[in-house]
Amino acid sequence: MMTWLVVGLVLFLGIHSVRIVAPEFRAAQIDARGLNLWKGIYSLVAIVGFVILVWGYGMARQDPLVFWLAPSWMSHVVALLMLPAMILLVASQVPPGRIKAAVKHPMLLSVKIWALAHLLVNGDLASIVLFGALLAWAVVDRISEKKRLRAGITSNPVAGPVKWDVIAVAGGLILYLLFITVLHKWLIGVPPILGI
Judge if pTM exceeds 0.85.
yes
CB distance 11 to 45 below 8 Å:
yes
How many whole angstroms from its chain centre is CA 46?
12
Q: How far apart are CA 112 and CA 92, in angstroms?
A: 14
Give the pLDDT band of residue 195 (cuts 50, 70, 90): very low
pLDDT in tens, 62-111: 888 999 998 988 988 999 999 999 999 999 999 999 999 999 999 999 99
pLDDT in tens, 138-191: 999 999 999 988 888 888 889 999 999 999 999 999 999 999 988 888 888 777
What is the predicted pLDDT for the residue at 44?
97
Q: Taking CA 145 as the corner, what is the angle to CA 141 and CA 148, rounded to the nearest 5 degrees?
A: 140
Is 82 exposed, middle or buried (CB count within 10 Å of its CB: 0-12, 13-18, 19+)?
A: buried
Please report, as a single letter, which amino acid is at residue 49: G
Give the pLDDT band of residue 194 (cuts 50, 70, 90): low
What is the predicted pLDDT for the residue at 133?
97
Q: How many CB atoms lie within 10 A of CB 118?
A: 20
CB distance 126 to 60 below 8 Å:
yes
pLDDT in tens, 115-133: 999 999 999 999 999 999 9
Please report, as a single letter, which amino acid is at residue 131: F
What is the predicted pLDDT for the residue at 196?
43
